[in-house]
Amino acid sequence: NGILVRGEKPVYWCPALQTALAAAEIEYKDHKSPSIYVTFYVEEKNKFFTADDKPLAFVIWTTTPWTLPANYAIALHPDYDYGIYEADGENLIFAKDLRENIEKVTGKTFKELKVLRGKDLEGVKAKHPFLNRDSLIILGQHVTLEAGTGCVHTAPGHGLDDYNVGLKYQLPVASPVDEAGRYTDEYPEMQGIKIWDANPKIVEKLVKSGHMLTHSEIVHSYPHNPRSKTPLIFRATPQWFIKMDDENYPLRQKALNAAEKDIQYVPEWGAQRLTSMLANSPDWCVSRQRLWGVPIPVFYCESCGEALADSQLMRTIADEMEKSNKGIECFYEKPAAEWTVGYSCKKCDHKEFSKSKDILDVWFDSGVCHTAVQKTREGLAFPADIYLEGSDQHRGWFQTSLVSSLAANGQAPFKALITHGFVNDAEGKKMSKSKGNVIDPAEVIKQHGAEILRLWVAYEDYGQDVNISNEMFKRITETYRRIRNTMRFLLGNLCDFDPQTDVVAYKDMTVLDQWALARFNELIEKVTEAYENYNFYKVYHHLNQFFTVDLSATYLDILKDRLYTWKKAGKARRASQTVIYYLLQDLSILMAPILSFLAEEV
């Protein structure tokens, strides 16, 4: 349907592992970065300011000095007020609402000379601080007043917002950084230097040239690769993307419609989490530069580099992988010439191709289990009743499964999403072997039994993070014993009861017996609803309440004299036994999912 495309745009890039990453793969950690306020001087200031002859400059703020060689513009918000301020013999331009913060950061006092709207400054040219070219003043809705100056340093090759706004103004997509994070010959002055090592050099360069208004260091949340534990960069590289906003197949809107109308969420807040992720997710970069994985079955013309991405050829490769029993090795072992017999380049008609070295994003691998597993294995259904995962998967598996299924099949791969929290220690701290606070489920089973472990899982509201401790298992064990002893009591009082001959009709029962059955019917409704909504903790609490209050403390306590001292075959005693019989029958069914062993014994 035309939404798988190859393009060069900024993606998360790991210099340590030299591969692209999708947004779903990254994690944020604290990171120390330079915080610099840089001046871009204007030569044609007479177009909008003629009050004096002092130098006039736009002030940008960035925490990535290494991206300045790729700067081609400064973005302003069209509707924000921008002031021209005098200080220390020069005039500076920045957002009026950020004046107080900039005065605090720089230690300067600014005198307001003039105020303009951002849209009044569009098209002005400022001089790059250390390269012989202009930086164009452009407008963008992505500009905010949360931090900085309201004048956003724009390098289309190193930022997604920069790239998108750059398309409108036809800015170059420059990315003078190689796979390992070193400058290329596109920035010859620092060619071969790693970008992190270049940061202080660029800061020093700006200070010496007089373009540094102020600088410091800040600690902020920054994207990292969870595998290498190293910081990521945005870098423009040729990659394969699934387009989210194609005119002919608006995948984002289809995903939002499905997320809002077709899916049940447990807990309900999962709906907001997923829709917000879908609303803001960029085009999905599905290619990776790694040595091993599921190959992207495309080929490149050896003459002009044009991609041969033919759906029939892809199907042929996939079928051969299945039949050969070699899996992906089948693609790697066979030369490109054998795969591409009869094909020629659509651009230059050349007939020799090389194989793609890119592999698929692993989130694509897991995300398409709807087609690879649900649709092919006997006993499974498409769509599935539920997908179940942790709260971190709204941006991961949940999202990639939904997006890929809508792209390929036109519908969601699941009817419901269940999101669980994570298990922490007794103090709410993450369990870690190094901390020695890990509780092994096998040890719990050994000490308390699998029934207790399962009952604990049902007891907790899994939609949140939960704490676990041996004390908790002791309390759960007490609840289990109370329920078990009650079931034993009920069984023990049916020793002389024959359901074929001794059942008493409801109308002939005492008011107490009728009350017990009424309460039990209420329990059945509550527990059934809880099961249907996957609220197992409500099942636990409803059952515990019924066993503790309605049965043990009320009905059975009153019933003891009747069961033990009244006439054995009398109607009143048989009525109570009838109630007990019904209770045992249906309680064992109600309990089965969370008290499986006990239900089976009964």
Average pLDDT for 422-428: 85
Helix-, strand-, coil-residue percentages of the chain, each rounded to 5: 40, 25, 35
DSSP string over 63-103: S-GGGGGG--EEEE-TTSEEEEEEETTEEEEEEGGGHHHHH
What 3-state DSSP class applies to 124?
coil
Confidence of residue 389 (pLDDT cuts 50, 70, 90): very high
pLDDT at 326: 87
Element housing 490 (H / E)? helix 470-492
Q: Which CATH superfamily is domain 237-418 in?
A: HUPs (3.40.50.620)
Q: Which helix (H) or strand (E) holds 288?
A: strand 287-288
Structure token digits, residue 477: 């064990």
The model's pLDDT over 203-214, given as tens digits with 9 standing for 90+, comes to: 999 999 999 999
What pLDDT shows up at residue 9?
83
Mean pLDDT of the chain: 90
Tens of pLDDT along 355-387? 998 999 989 999 999 999 999 999 999 999 999
Which of 439-448, 492-501, 578-587 holds the top average pLDDT?
578-587
What pLDDT, on a 0 to 100 scale, did the predictor assign at position 344? 93
The amino acid occupying position 521 is N
Query: Between 3.90.1150.10, 3.90.740.10, 3.40.50.150, 3.40.50.300, what CATH number should domain 27-224 receive?
Result: 3.90.740.10
d(CA 51, CA 517): 90
pLDDT digit string (tens) for 61-104?
999 999 999 999 999 999 999 999 998 889 999 999 999 999 99
**Cβ proximity of 110 and 85 under 8 Å:** yes
- The C-alpha atoms of residue 576 and residue 118 are separated, in whole angstroms, by 83
For residue range 517-561, what is the model confidence (pLDDT) as tens digits?
A: 999 999 999 999 999 999 999 999 999 999 999 999 899 888 888
Burial of 421 (0-12, 13-18, 19+ CB in 10 A): middle
pLDDT band at 299 (very low <50, low <70, confident <90, very high): very high
Helix (H, G, I), strand (E, B) or coil at 238: strand
Tell me the domain boundaries of the chain: 27-224, 237-418, 441-601
Phi, then psi, of 196 in degrees rounded to 5 = -65, -35
Question: Across residues 336-343, what is the average pLDDT?
Answer: 92
CB–CB of 167/157 below 8 Å?
A: no
Q: Check if the beta carbon of residue 531 is closer than 8 Å to that of residue 593.
A: yes
Summarised one tens digit per residue, pLDDT across range 92-138 is 999 999 999 999 998 888 999 999 999 999 999 999 999 999 999 99
Return the residue matching tokens 């040595």: 291
Report pLDDT digits (tens) over 220-272: 889 999 889 999 998 888 889 999 999 999 999 999 999 999 999 999 999 99
Question: Which among 421, 359, 364, 412 has a CA at the least distance from the CA of 390?
Answer: 421
- At the topology level, CATH places domain 441-601 in Isoleucyl-tRNA Synthetase; Domain 1 (1.10.730)
Element (H, E) at 220: strand 212-225
Please state, in angstroms and rounded to a whole number, the distance separating the CA atoms of residues 20 and 241.
12
The span from the CA of 110 to the CA of 90, in Å, is: 10
> Is residue 4 helix, strand or coil?
strand
In this model, does residue 24 exceed pLDDT 80? no
Identify whether the C-beta of residue 557 lies closer than 8 Å to the C-beta of residue 548.
no
What global pTM score does this model have? 0.71
Retrieve residue 2's tokens: 């035309």
What is the predicted pLDDT for the residue at 424?
87
pLDDT recorded at residue 198: 93
Question: What pLDDT, on the 0 to 100 scale, is given for residue 407?
Answer: 94
Between strands 134-139 and 73-76, the pairing is: parallel
* Per-residue pLDDT, 51: 73
pLDDT of residue 252: 95
**Looking at residues 336-356, what average pLDDT do you find?**
92
Report the relative pairing of strands 284-285 and 287-288 from DSSP bridges. unpaired
Q: Which residues contact 37 (CB under 8 A, 6 or more apart)?
A: 59, 60, 61, 102, 105, 106, 149, 212, 213, 214, 215
Asked if 298 and 307 touch (Cβ cutoff 8 Å), the reply is: yes
Is residue 148 helix, strand or coil?
A: coil
